[in-house]
Amino acid sequence: MKKEIWKPGTLIYPLPAILVSSGSTPDDYNIFTAAWVGTLCTNPPMCYVSIRPERHSYELIKRNMEFTLNLTTVAMARATDWCGVRSGRDYDKWKETGLTPCPGIEVRSPYIEESPLSIECKVREIVSLGSHDMFIADVVNILADKQYIDPETQAFDMQRADLMVYSHGHYHELGAEIGKFGWSVKKK
């Protein structure tokens, strides 16, 4: 066997580097960085974010039962990292990072103007798991920056958005496309 045996851990990488925005009024708007985020279901559209209970945004999200997931770009890398290592209890992260909060459309939590794609969510259930609680949510609205929408297909161009990912303590740019879903079996 050429593989070593390691103790169980969380090594599913890369993950999206997401800025989660929360709060119901400009006075309590906050942002934090999360990578424990993912898709749960297509129909109905559902996702999750796992949050440590000691995080400042945990109580905001639990109280309001909604949040917004904001995809991040290479240009947002510094702000994304900063929001992950500073607490909203001690800093106004919007002011410190220069990111712009915009009032939500279907939720009270703000979305980030600079984000190429923002996903508004309403919490359906909170599951306590250990170090983190999982906020399972319905996707109620998506805000896509028009500059990344292909005019012919109306699809969002993730590659052009210059998204970044998180991989075991490091941030990375996405690389070149190597194929499209189904390309391995597509007839020539």
Summarize pLDDT for 46-74 with one digit per residue, the tens: 999 999 999 999 999 999 999 999 999 99
Looking at the predicted structure, is the pLDDT value of residue 23 above 90? yes
Q: Report pTM.
A: 0.94
List the single range of 40-44, 68-72, 165-169, 183-187 with lowest mean pLDDT.
183-187
Mean pLDDT, the chain, rounded, equals 95
pLDDT reading at 106 higher than 80: yes
pLDDT score at 179: 86
The Cα 164–Cα 162 span in angstroms is 7
Longest pairwise C-alpha distance within the chain: 58
Q: What is the mean pLDDT of residues 6-14?
A: 90
Give the residue with greater pLDDT, 34 vs 158.
34
Query: Is residue 81 classed exposed, middle or buried when 0-12, 13-18 and 19+ CB atoms within 10 A define those classes?
Result: middle
pLDDT of 159 reads 86
Question: Taking residues 2-6, what's their average pLDDT?
Answer: 93
Tell me how far CA of residue 165 lies from CA of 66, 73, 107, 186, in angstroms.
Answer: 24, 9, 26, 29
Task: Kindly give, in sequence order, each residue whose CB lies less than 8 Å from that of residue 86, ignoring residues fewer than 6 positions away.
Answer: 93, 96
- Whether the pLDDT of residue 146 is over 90: the answer is yes
Q: How confident is the model at residue 178 (pLDDT cuts 50, 70, 90)?
A: confident
Q: Show the domains of the chain with their CATH numbers.
A: 15-173 (2.30.110.10)
